[in-house]
């Protein structure tokens, strides 16, 4: 076990995957000599060389399209998009090509591609460097979507993603790249997809979160504990596939649910999670499902801390949910 930050764990995961499998390579803007805008690929080019750590032109469409071609010939490319906000020039390549190759080929072409991208607010990036649009990719059949919240999960989920037969959108919460640290298992540590993690057990209300919102939800649960409210915090870890069993079991126990994400509220992932709970756990619910999210506006710069959910907002929603039911 080694203590490291989340971004260091991403780097370690990439290093170990490349060391263990010569078919794994990294490509993207500034991933080589500069080590990436957040230094997630720092040092990789020195060990593996420019043939496996490829600095590309500024063309997201080209990056993902090239990765698809590589994968169809048996390689396992990890394509980095500098910010999730910049991914849209590659959107057609992702949703129309990457997501469909395994299906359209009857499984002959698994298309091992991981698309990594830092996402979310918290770094004063303004409206073009702070978006959380994970729901776009969750809506696309054929893609898997993983979002870690701890260094151990960053490495473990990334290694699982690289070796998965389906393409994976791997979103990294840049707000906590260096704000959280923890013990990370050495070696080929993999976290299985579709396996949520109960961060804090509780009996009165379930709080579901992912990415940078997990520490926020945990802080809210600690505050609620001082008021005599036992809040359970569940880190979803992968949105697709979703661990429905853990989600439903939690709500069946507590009878109440609060869903937290920093993406805009309308059609955000919380809407799908709420629908699942309404369909499959309706008779267990003692109160309406609450959502604590970003707002339905472009991401602001000056009002970033107002836009982002915080522990006070989450605690207020959980408190109201408990008292209403």
Name the token pair of 299: 């991401």
Using a CB cutoff of 8 Å and minimum separation of 24, what contacts does 263-268 make? 263/132, 263/133, 263/134, 263/135, 263/293, 263/294, 264/132, 264/293, 264/294, 264/295, 264/296, 264/297, 265/291, 265/293, 265/294, 265/295, 265/296, 266/296, 267/135, 268/135, 268/293, 268/294
Q: Which residues contact 152 (CB under 8 A, 6 or more apart)?
A: 9, 182, 183, 184, 185, 189, 191
Residue whose structure tokens are 């993902």:
64
Distances (CA, A) of 242 to 184, 199, 272: 23, 16, 11
- Measured CA to CA, the distance from residue 126 to residue 141 in angstroms comes to 30
Q: Could you tell me which residues come within 8 angstroms of residue 77 by beta carbon, excluding any fewer than 6 positions away?
A: 24, 25, 26, 27, 66, 67, 70, 71, 112, 113, 114
Contacts of 47 (CB under 8 A, 6+ apart): 15, 18, 19
Beta-carbon-side half-sphere exposure of residue 282 (alpha carbons within 13 Å): 4
Catalytic pick among 15, 112, 129, 261: 129
Q: How far is CA 233 from CA 158, 185, 218, 256, 259, in A?
A: 23, 23, 6, 12, 10
129 included as an active-site residue: yes
How far is the C-alpha of 115 from the C-alpha of 170, rounded, in Å?
6
Give the residue numbers annotated as catalytic, written as ranges: 129
């Amino acid at each position: 076990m080694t203590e490291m930050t989340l971004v260091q764990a991403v780097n370690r995961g990439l290093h170990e995957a490349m060391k263990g499998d010569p078919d794994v390579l990294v490509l993207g803007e500034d991933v080589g000599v500069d080590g990436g805008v957040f230094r997630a690929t720092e040092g990789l080019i020195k060990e593996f060389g420019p043939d496996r750590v490829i600095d590309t032109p500024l063309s997201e469409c080209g990056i993902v399209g090239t990765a698809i071609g590589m994968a169809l010939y048996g390689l396992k490319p990890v394509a980095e998009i500098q910010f999730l906000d910049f991914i849209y020039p590659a959107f057609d390549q992702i949703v129309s090509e990457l997501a469909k190759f395994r299906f359209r080929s009857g499984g002959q072409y698994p298309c091992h591609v991981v698309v990594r991208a830092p996402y979310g607010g918290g770094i004063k990036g303004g409206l073009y460097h702070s978006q959380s649009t994970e729901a776009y990719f969750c809506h696309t059949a054929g893609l898997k979507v993983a979002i870690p919240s701890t260094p151990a999960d960053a490495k473990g989920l990334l290694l699982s993603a690289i070796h998965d037969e389906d393409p994976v959108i791997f979103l990294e919460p840049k707000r906590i790249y260096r704000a959280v640290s923890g013990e990370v298992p050495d070696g080929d540590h993999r976290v299985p997809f579709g396996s949520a993690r109960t961060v804090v057990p509780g009996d009165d209300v379930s709080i579901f979160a992912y990415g940078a919102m997990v520490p926020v939800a945990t802080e809210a649960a600690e505050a609620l504990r001082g008021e005599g409210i036992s809040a359970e915090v569940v880190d979803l870890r992968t949105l697709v596939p979703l661990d429905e069993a853990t989600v439903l079991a939690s709500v069946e126990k507590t009878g109440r649910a609060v869903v937290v994400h920093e993406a805009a509220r309308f059609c955000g992932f919380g809407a799908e999670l709420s629908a699942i709970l309404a369909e499959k756990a309706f008779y267990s619910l003692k109160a309406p499902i609450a959502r604590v999210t970003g707002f339905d506006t472009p991401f602001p710069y000056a009002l970033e801390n107002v836009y982002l959910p915080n522990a006070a907002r989450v605690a207020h929603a959980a408190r109201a949910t408990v008292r209403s039911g």
